[in-house]
Structure 1
Amino acid sequence: MSPRRSHRLWPSGLVPVVLLAAGCGGNDQSTISPGGKAARDIATLWWVMLVGSVVVFAVVLVLVAVVLLRRRALRGAPDLEPRGRVGTWVPVVGGIVVPAVVLAGLFALTLGTLSSTSPASAGSTSLTVQVTGRQWFWDVTYPDAHVRTANEIHIPVGVPVRVEVSSGDVIHSFWVPELNRKIDMIPGRTNTVTLEAMHRGMFRGQCAEFCGLQHANMAFVVVAEPRDEFDSWLATQAKPARPPPNAALENGQQVFLGSGCVYCHTIAGTNASGKIGPDLTHLASRSYIGAGAGANSPGELAGWILDPQHVKPGNRMPGTDLTGPELQDLLEYLESLR
């Protein structure tokens, strides 16, 4: 191969390495950057198996190399070495004893990981959250506090939270890699997983079971915060939307209530009580819209309202034909829902 051609090829050979490094960058939704006890045990098991497999692979390569080099050195020489028990002990130790010890250790470590990732019983946790997967967003309910929100789960730091998951349409899968394993959401069935964060943070979750056109854009966040901040957030979420304090916000509310939005969405304290789409009572307090499709900013929200199919093709929300002033009033009203 000419130097010029090899010079052309070596950058393309780096492409897989660069992609691999890019995939490992950061700690966003990373299974090896645990933020919870269960995820820490899963990551520990993964590292042990990775390092162990690398060591075993390296030892096997060395032994193969030694055998090949020795055979090459002895090729054509008379067999003068007496055959003893060494030839018997090597396969016994290397093929039976060592694998048995390694597998027994991995089995014990796996049992410990299974214990830490098993869901907590209903009576052993002080907080229960119910999550329903829908195409393509997450319906979140705190049954004891009578709170309903969407795509954002708040939990207190250091407290095991029982999360009961189900599906409203097709099979989904609930997964927060930095907190625990994934668990399937099956229509007509309720499964359970426990989330416990070791520190404050925002942990990204994702649907891990193909569920249709927008499966890749079905994300959510788990917000872990100190207990007092969580209690304050939950108390605020339990309140209905406050009445519009001025004429501009009242106009925005009338735009909302006079449109088809009321048949799909709920705003507590008004006659909007739809259950098809996400609850919007405290929409402005959330970080994202459309299950992670965009940031919760006026510009992103305006684009979503006018043409949601352009932002997230296939979702069940139709577009609107609001005038400029109507859209502005509606945005100001929605931004007041905190």
Structure 2
Amino acid sequence: MRRLLPLLALAGCSGAQTPLDPWGVQAGHIATLSHVLFWGGGALFLVTMGFLALAILAPAGLRRAMGSHGFLIGAGIAFPVTVLTALLVYSLGVSRALTRPLSEAPLRIEIIGRQYWWEMRYPDLGEGAVTANALHLPAGREVELNLTSGDVIHSVWVPNLHGKMDMIPGRVNRQRLRADRTGTLRGQCTEFCGAQHALMAFDVVVQEPAEFEAWIARQRAPVPEPRTPEERRGMQVFGEAGCGACHAVRGTPWSARIAPDLSRVGSRATLAAGAIPNTHGNLAGWIAAPQDIKPGNAMPAYARSLEGSDLLALATWLGSLR
């Protein structure tokens, strides 16, 4: 068991949600600051413990010297003031570096926090570039996140890319970042916002620029026509059940903005803001009884109003929207 403890500690230094595995410039500054403060604090602790040991175990002459006026002034006032001032100046320099722009024209992305999901918009890339609970970024390009809230105060945090930033109703906070590695990360709400605060996450997908452009093109394009009788029935059920009163599906008559945009929901890795994996069974279960999965969310249950075959057909059509 003792041999496993170091491995468990090292496991927290990498992964899809850790500030100690920076994927970009800003996260690199934060990680460096963390290491400086950690190792610096550790060194100061060892020095303090060394003085304590000397005060207890050293010969009487040395203990008397350590109690002199000059030693107390030097070790008790001058030394900590010097060290803390240096750390303050360094920390302020890191803070300045975090806000320094890396380019003249970053890609703007609007993120709106809601109970309990995320809406992402790409206004620089044309109308219709909207998704939910999945932030796609082009690798190597600086982006500016315009952060706000549609209801209560939220806070967004992607540890591998930047620090936390509050999302306040009626106010837009801006955060610039750049991802330099491709892959999938995880973002999280870090401001208590209600009963399902813990289940308010999103995927961050960092793509090569060409792959990102192809993804944006798919987002803006109308959804494909249903290919099978079951998919056609599912689309019909979507309209008959009133789902379009809250959700948008691009290329159809449904364009509401109350709930997540479902235009490409089949391509998302999770449902309900990271609560469950996006599978056919989970999608049908979410439609049937969302309060059993994520109590307190705004999605109504359809278990009693839809037949089982209609639920499965609806899940099949939504799953085909890729």
TM-score higher than 0.5: yes
Q: Show the counterpart of 1:173.
A: 155
Contact 1:157 1:199 in 2 (8 A): yes
How many residues end up aligned between the 2 structures?
Answer: 314
Match of 1:65 among 35, 41, 53: 53
CA drift at 1:25? 6.9
CA drift at 1:304? 0.5
For residues 128 and 84 of structure 1, do their structure 2 counterparts lie closer, same or farther at Cα, with a shift above 3 Å needed?
closer
CA drift at 1:86? 9.7
Q: Show the counterpart of 1:4.
A: none
Q: Please give the per-residue CA displacement for 1:190-224, whole angstroms capped at 9, x wherever unaligned.
A: 00111211211211111110000000000011111
Question: Which residues in structure 2 correspond to 1:1-338 (within 5 Å)?
Answer: 21=9, 24=12, 27-70=15-58, 74=60, 87-118=68-99, 120=101, 124-145=104-125, 146=127, 147-320=129-302, 321-338=305-322
Letter of the structure 2 residue corresponding to residue 335 of structure 1 = G
Runs of 4+ in 1 over 6 A off after TM superposition: 83-86
For residues 119 and 187 of structure 1, do their structure 2 counterparts lie closer, same or farther at Cα, with a shift above 3 Å needed?
farther
Gaps of 5+ in 2: none
Q: Please give the per-residue CA displacement for 1:153-194, whole angstroms capped at 9, x wherever unaligned.
A: 111111110000100000000111110011111110000111
TM-score normalised by length of structure 2: 0.90
Q: Please give the per-residue CA displacement for 1:226-264, whole angstroms capped at 9, x wherever unaligned.
A: 111111111111111122234332111101111121111
TM-score normalised by length of structure 1: 0.86
CA drift at 1:115? 1.9
1:222 match: secondary structure:
strand
For residues 236 and 84 of structure 1, do their structure 2 counterparts lie closer, same or farther at Cα, with a shift above 3 Å needed?
closer
For residues 252 and 65 of structure 1, do their structure 2 counterparts lie closer, same or farther at Cα, with a shift above 3 Å needed?
same
1:144 match: secondary structure:
helix
2-structure distance, mates of 1:84, 1:278: 70
2-structure distance, mates of 1:33, 1:323: 48
Contact 1:207 1:219 in 2 (8 A): yes
1:101 match: secondary structure:
helix
2:310 match: secondary structure:
helix
For residues 85 and 211 of structure 1, do their structure 2 counterparts lie closer, same or farther at Cα, with a shift above 3 Å needed?
closer
For residues 283 and 64 of structure 1, do their structure 2 counterparts lie closer, same or farther at Cα, with a shift above 3 Å needed?
same
CA drift at 1:144? 2.0
1:275 match: secondary structure:
coil
If you compute each CA radius of gyration, which structure gives the higher value, 1 or 2? 1
Q: Show the counterpart of 1:7.
A: none
1:292 match: secondary structure:
coil
Tell me how large the CA RMSD over aligned residues is: 2.5
Q: Please give the per-residue CA displacement for 1:8-56, whole angstroms capped at 9, x wherever unaligned.
A: xxx9xx9xx89x8598375231121211211111111111111111111
